[in-house]
Every structure is written in structure tokens, then in C-alpha cells.
Structure 1
Amino acid sequence: MPASASEEPVQQPLQLDALGPRGEFRARNRQVVPDVTGAPAAELSLVPPPFVSRAHSALRRAEPAPPDERVRRIAAAADLFATGTVAGLGVAEYRLLVSRVGGVPLTEVASAVDRIAERLRDIGTGLDRARPAGAVTDWRDPLVRSGRAAHTRRGDVFAVHAAGNHPGTHSLWPEALALGFRVAVRPSRREPFTPHRLVSALRLAGFGNDEIALLPTDHAGADAVLRGADLGLVYGGEDVVRKYGADPTVLLQGPGRSKVLLTADVDWRDHLDTIVDSVAGRGGTGCVNATAVLVEGDPTPLCEALAERFSALPSLPPEHPKAVLPVQPAAGARA
């Protein structure tokens, strides 16, 4: 739904500093981050490639804490992220900013914050289940000589080109931090508040400035963020797929193209709720939301039923408690 240009901004532009190895850094080059009406909500400091290079050098020199301590710190950061005041913002202020800037319904932002925190509190369980049974966590373990496999990270520095479509994507990359990687996060300029808050919370919980960094950059600096790392996680569209798709050191999270397929032997009436939720659930902005429904046979009855269900969804500002649809500026909505 398009937003009205007459609505008031949430607040004066918030200064979002880069978080480098020496702490907060306010760059001379800053980009305005607008809300859905086009009003400025924040100014994001953009660091140049030399700053990125120095940050990577510091990350590579840092020694990670023991595994149990890393997991404990991440759990502590989860509580700060979901309930505390971080970088001067309470959780209610933060959620409102994400909703107003990203256009994600406020209720979905609140739900995503809780899910991120829940995942981070239990991050050790996820790592244990990913490890092959019987494998040790260090190649220097004496059991390796007796034939045990070693399950350990491949490198020291991990880079993230973060997504801006939904806060929930930020529940994934902290696993690298739990494994002992030092992590550099390049936030999306579409919604930088979630990675800024999460990196700040991780530092408050005990991770050093030389273990986790937030490096907002322009496109030239984006390449530097990946070049300085051993492995990377990248979100993006077709242009990103073409650029990094053949790079074995990059885990690519490209555009979501989830589909719903209904074959002729299936009665779509039994699955209507699932189809509607696949398209519009959780704000409709996730990479797992369905982008098409494929029907074997005549699609008209299903299309009419879907149109009826979707037309009943209210068009409201994203911060409205009953909002369920994503909001974006009028030009983007028309496109």
C-alpha cells in the first residue's frame, strides 16, 4: 500500500554510527534513511574501503573467547536486544523505527524480535545438532589421531551483506560468532536499525570491538567487506546473484521465488488458508513468501477466492496495531 506524504516523521533523524574496532565512528559521508513517507528517519555513517580494511585487520588479530563463553554472551545479547535499551533506543522505539522505515507491520516486527531472541538464546543447541555425531570441535584434540573427525570453522573472519526486507534474517549470522568467527556486518541501507541494535547488544554482552563490527558502506566498500573475509553470507536480488553466484566462499541468499503448486487431483478449498498465509503471512515481505500460485486446470475459482480473501485485508500505516500488509513509498508500490 502506498504511504501518505502528509504523515509526520517518527522523530528527528537518528545518527547511526559505524561500529569499528575502536568503537563508534561517525563518518563525514552519511546517507539519509527515509521512512515510508519519504521523511528522514536516520542518517547512516558510510565508511570508506580503508576503514573496512583496518577493521578486518583487527578482526583477524582478535582471539575468540572459549565456546561456552561465546554462547553465554550471545544469550545475554538476546535479552538486551529484545527487552533493553541499546544504543540509546528502548525496544518500543526500535520496533517503531523498523516498522516506519521498512514498512513491515509493527506486530510482525515485534514477533520477529521475539523470534530472533529465542533463536539466539538457544544457539548452542543448533550448533550441537549440526555437528556430526562423534566429531570433536578442535583439530588439535587427541581423539583426532584415533580417527575422530574434527568439525571446526573454515577461517577466522566472516562477512555479512545483510538483508533489509525483514528483521528475522538477522537470527542466522550470529551462528558464525558462536563458532568463533569474528564477524563484519554490512547493514542494508533499507533497514539498518536491526543489525545496529544487534551488534551493539553483542558488544554490551561482552564481545570485543575487534570481534564484531558494523561496517555500513557504499557499493565500492561492499566489495571490500567481502574481500577481507574468509567466508561470506550475502543477501540480494538478481544483480547480486550474477555477481557472487559462482564464488565458493559466499553463501548466497538470493531473491525468494517460492511457489505454491496445485495439481488437478487436489481440492484447493482444503488448502486456501495455507495459500493465503504463504502469500501474505508475516507481513508478506519474507523470502519464503509465495510469489506465484501455479494451478493445473482452470485457476478462475481459486483466483476469485484469493481475491476475496486479500481484498478483506486492511490497508493501514505499518505502525497501526491491525496492520498486516507491507507499506512502501508510492513509486515502489506502483512498480
Structure 2
Amino acid sequence: MAGPRTDVVPLDALGPRGPYRARNRLTVTDVAGRESAELSLVPSLFVDRTMRAMRRADAPEPDERIAMIGRAAELFATATLGGLTPDEYAYRVSRVGGTPISVVRATVTAIAARLRKAHYSVEQARPAGAVNRWDDPLTRTGRAVWVRRGDVFAVHAAGNHPGPHSLWPEALALGYRVAVRPSRREPFTPHRLVTALRAAGFGDDRVALLPTDHATADTLLRGADLGLVYGGEDVVRKYAGSPRVLPQGPGRSKILLTREVDWREHLGTIVDSVSGHGGTGCVNTTAVFVEGDPAPLCAALAERLAAVPSLPPQDPAAVFPVQPPATAKALEAHLLHRAAGT
């Protein structure tokens, strides 16, 4: 049985005329510092031209675009795309992002399932009584028409977990043309998904992948009607006041245990909420608040988590995420500082 590929994979930008290998390229390394991919970074002029081309493009008819998203779901989960088989893709995501490979594989299945239901998801957002077309017979009774707020949608993608990439294809279901700026932390998933959507029938001027440096990132949002941006606190502050941009910041899910609650009955749930999905999702618990003495719960929780073995992310039995040494040492220093005197 052949082992995993160790060559450096080129990840080209996917513009309005097909793949584009830029002169400016970023080396993507795995958690051990080994080179895994070379990501093309496009200049602002390329972004501007792409956004103009997308604005000129027509959206496919609703039934056609729903069918194409369904075909893309199958390709994303099963096909060789961008030179990578599904197993090779999962291995790269695991090694570069540090996400356990079992989580990556489960997320591939979840993304494909979500794509197949994209039409259902967007229909649930339509207000009751509203219709999709102005010439629908129901409009004669005074009901509202539900329409897009624009034509071009931009995404600054997340890199902590592949899962959020199941969401932005819903914009394609609504008829938007979509441009995605991948995260440098994990560009494989958006590259694979855009490639699958194009192979399923979406034109190159209807869905694009535009990797950029930080200085060029805002060019993408300026050229779009609406945007979705993932990032940290600095990103949330930057776009919080914009009516055109929806910022998605860090998850801050909490668990509260009151005096009336016997925490021993819920220890398994607490452990799963901390470590599930590789511990990197926005839904993972970031803090547990205890009314009363937290020490017994802390000891029990530490014991359960310490029993989980530390494994390379590509190991099928891996549970916890893996970080590069510098990031891991910074996390350790932060925790030791916060725990001083406790």
C-alpha cells in the first residue's frame, strides 16, 4: 500500500479564466515545519478584474444551480480534485491544520451532506408568505417578494476547521457569484470545494478562489455587495460597524454548573464539549463556570483529558489538535501565567 504523498502541492488561484499560478507564492507548512503546498497569492489588480467579471456573469436558473451544488457534493467527497484523492486531501488538511484526521474525514461527509441540503436550508430562511419571483401568482394577494441584496458575495474563510466551508455555498444556491479568500492556515478545503463546484458546472466567473496577502484582502470585500469574514477579535472590531459584512469571531461557548447540579452526572458531556471535533470548532467549550468549589470538577476533568494519548494528527486514534512548537509553547506560557497562584 502506497504511503502518503510528500511532494509540495501547487494550489493555484482560481480566477475567471481558470487556474492562475501567481509569481508571488506562499509556502504552506505542516505542524512539523515541512513544506506541504505552495499557495499562489494574487495582486489587487487580479482581484478587481475577477470581481468585475463575476458582476457581469449571469446566475444559473434555480433548479440548475441546486443540481450543480448536488453534483459538487459528490465530487468533493469522492473525486480526485486538484491532483489529490480524498485520502490525500484529508492527510494534508490533518498535517497542516493539526486537526485529527478522523475529524477531517467526518467533516468531509458533513460538508457533502450540507451541500445536498443547501436549497432546503436557504428556503427555511425565506419569510412565511414571501415568494421568490415577482410574477408568482401569490403576489396578487399582496405578499412580499424575497430577493437577493446583491449579486457578488465575498468570503474571508476560516482556517481552524474545515466545517465552516459548508456554509458559504448557500450563497450560490441563492444566485450570488462567490469569491473566497482562503486562510493561509488551511487552504486545501476551499481549493477542493471551489474545484468541485466548477467541475459540477459552475462557470469560472461564478465561483472563484482568490488567495491574497493581508494588504490586498480588503480589495475583495470592496468589490462585493456582501461579505462574510472569519477571524479573531481584531477582525470583529474592524467590521462590526459595516452593514455589508458579517464578522464571525472566536467561539465563546460556556458551561455553567449551579449548586443544584451534580457535575459527576455531566462529566462526559463536559469532556466531549471540550475535545469533540478536535477541540477546534467555534462550538467547543472555552470555559466551565462552577457555582461553589470548582476543584473536584477540575481534578476529574484534568484526569479524563490527561488519559487521552497525544498522537500525530494523521493517526486515526488522534483526538486532540496539534500545533507547531512555537504556538504550543505560547499556549503553555499563557496557561501557566493565568494559573499562577491558583
Q: TM-score range by the shorter chain?
A: over 0.9
Partner of 1:276 in structure 2? Answer: 271
Partner of 2:154 in structure 1? Answer: 159
Deviation at 1:270, TM superposition (A): 1.3
In 2, are the aligned partners of 1:258 and 1:289 still within 8 Å (CA)? yes
Partner of 2:301 in structure 1? Answer: 306
Cα distance in structure 2, aligned partners of 1:27 and 1:212: 18
In 1, are the aligned partners of 2:154 and 2:224 still within 8 Å (CA)? yes
List structure 1 segments (4+ residues) > 2 angstroms apart after TM superposition: 138-146
Change (3 A) 1:258 1:146: same
TM value normalised by structure 2: 0.94
The match for 1:100 among 84, 95, 101 is: 95
In 1, are the aligned partners of 2:5 and 2:88 still within 8 Å (CA)? no
Give the partner amino acid of 2:241. A
Deviation at 1:145, TM superposition (A): 4.8
Deviation at 1:265, TM superposition (A): 1.1
Deviation at 1:133, TM superposition (A): 2.4
The match for 2:45 among 31, 50, 67 is: 50
Cα distance in structure 2, aligned partners of 1:144 and 1:228: 33
Residue 9 of structure 2 is aligned to residue 30 of structure 1: no
In 2, are the aligned partners of 1:46 and 1:218 still within 8 Å (CA)? yes
Q: Which deviations, in whole Å up to 9, do the C-alpha atoms of 1:289-319 show, x marking residues without a partner? A: 1111111100011001101100011100000
Partner of 1:204 in structure 2? Answer: 199
Partner of 1:12 in structure 2? Answer: 7
Cα distance in structure 2, aligned partners of 1:246 and 1:9: 46
RMSD after superposition: 1.3
Cα distance in structure 2, aligned partners of 1:77 and 1:309: 40
Cα distance in structure 1, aligned partners of 2:213 and 2:136: 43
The match for 1:229 among 224, 233, 240 is: 224
Partner of 2:113 in structure 1? Answer: 118
Give the partner amino acid of 1:159. A
Q: Which deviations, in whole Å up to 9, do the C-alpha atoms of 1:98-148 show, x marking residues without a partner? A: 000000000000000000000101111112222122311124545435311
Partner of 1:266 in structure 2? Answer: 261
Partner of 2:190 in structure 1? Answer: 195
Cα distance in structure 1, aligned partners of 2:143 and 2:58: 26
Give the partner amino acid of 2:13. A
Partner of 1:325 in structure 2? Answer: 320
In 1, are the aligned partners of 2:59 and 2:177 still within 8 Å (CA)? yes
Q: Percent identity?
A: 68
Give the partner amino acid of 2:169. P
Number of aligned residues: 328
The match for 1:245 among 240, 263, 268 is: 240
- Structure 1 segment 129-208 matched on structure 2, within 5 A: 129-141=124-136, 143-208=138-203
Q: Structure 1 unaligned runs (5+)? A: 1-7
Cα distance in structure 1, aligned partners of 2:272 and 2:66: 34
Change (3 A) 1:140 1:51: farther
Partner of 2:58 in structure 1? Answer: 63
Deviation at 1:192, TM superposition (A): 0.2
Partner of 2:340 in structure 1? Answer: none
Q: Structure 2 unaligned runs (5+)? A: 331-342
In 2, are the aligned partners of 1:313 and 1:324 still within 8 Å (CA)? yes
Higher-RCO chain (CA-CA 8 Å, sequence separation at least 6): 1
In 2, are the aligned partners of 1:9 and 1:41 still within 8 Å (CA)? no
Give the partner amino acid of 1:206. G
In 1, are the aligned partners of 2:4 and 2:88 still within 8 Å (CA)? no
